[in-house]
Amino acid sequence: MSGKGVLSRFRNVWKTLTKKSESPRESQERSELFKIALASTYRKLRMDAASPGRKASDLKLPREQLSSLFDEASTLLEEEVEAYDLPIRSLRLEVQKTISPQVVEILKACRDIEHEDLSEFNMELEEQNEKESEEVVEFCKRHLLEECNHVLEQTENIKMMGNGSGNGNGNANSSEARQQPYFGQRLSALQTIASFYGWEEAETDHNHVTSKDGGDAFGYYINADEEINKAIRYYQMMNLTKALLVRQNIGYAPLALQSTIRKAGRGVFVDGFASAGSVISFFPGDVWPKEYLTNIDAVAKTFKDDPKHQLSIRYDDILIDSRHSPYTVLDNDNSNLFALGHIVNHPPKITSNGDGDGDGDGDG
């Protein structure tokens, strides 16, 4: 079906979504739930269109086929699921059903990393003896050095394309060129770890390890306590390695690095290829059902301080408190590589002169 047919169908569904009997908040939730269901259904159809065993990063389909899959996803929701006519509660369940296979896949991938690739190592830094520590670092070194050289090669290729040299077409607006700030930040993060551990094999440009204001590619500011710096670098190394292994498994993984937006705090990047409709991250933290939020005085006292905008209230009035969730030190059994949703709106730290990041307490 033509693109016009898809647009016409979506417009008809959209009219149904904005029910006059619903409040503005309910209408907003309905539209967002429908978009999530549509994107998730589209992703499933796209994955099914690939041959067995292919990763998401290999799903480079023609634009015409992508348009056809979107049309099919819209038809499924409109005619078979009748999502546009479901009550809000039922639509929530439909969204859960569409994204649950992805969530299971992500959790299995993270579990496999812990129980297979890293199972032979004692991962707790405080409990490691010298030999165990060397074994973990050596394991990460093999993977991260290879990745460092790979990213360096990608970065150089993008620069060549932007200059119109080599085999590139000189199109600085290509998808690869738009990724250059991320590749630069990722390369800097890898080189920061390589420099800290003295991996001479890495081609390290020390000018990129630390930014002008003293922070690094992780958004970390060196602490006066060297033991803290050592621990932070260890867990940054582990997170980079875990993300790399997960990306090799499912095609992509999230990474928390310093944002490439000027004067911003940390940001969440997608390393690899994630099709539209993919689950990118979870919101970690304590979950408060609305029944626990009826005491106004208690709520005001408990949740009055939120300097990093990490209190999130859902449409069903469930509150997620991510204020104490970690950024980099994912060092307990309940930590998950994808639990980075609370970092997306991370503001910059304020210096003594009121401008930008500056304090040296590092990662939370």
- End of a domain among 65, 82, 113? 113
Contact 209, 216 (CB under 8 A): yes
311 and 200 housed in the same domain: no
96 and 234 housed in the same domain: no
104 and 163 housed in the same domain: no
136 and 262 housed in the same domain: yes
What is the predicted pLDDT for the residue at 93?
93
165 and 229 housed in the same domain: yes
Inside any domain, residue 181: yes
Inside any domain, residue 361: no
- End of a domain among 72, 90, 113? 113
218 and 313 housed in the same domain: no
271 and 199 housed in the same domain: yes
Query: Whole-prediction pTM value?
Result: 0.81
25 and 43 housed in the same domain: yes
**Other CB atoms closer than 10 Å to residue 30's CB: what's the count?**
23
pLDDT under 50: residue ranges of the chain: 1-4, 57, 165-170, 172, 206-208, 352-364
Inside any domain, residue 41: yes
Inside any domain, residue 353: no
Inside any domain, residue 364: no
Dihedral (Cα; 288, 293, 297, 298), 10-degree rounding? -30
Sign of CA dihedral 22, 25, 29, 32: positive
Range of the domain at 139: 118-284+325-343
What is the predicted pLDDT for the residue at 355?
45
Structural domain count, the chain? 3
The sheet carrying 319-321 orders its strands as 286-288, 319-321, 311-313
307 and 242 housed in the same domain: no
Q: 61-109, pLDDT tens digit by residue?
A: 788 888 899 899 988 888 887 877 788 999 999 999 999 999 999 999 9
133 and 230 housed in the same domain: yes
305 and 334 housed in the same domain: no
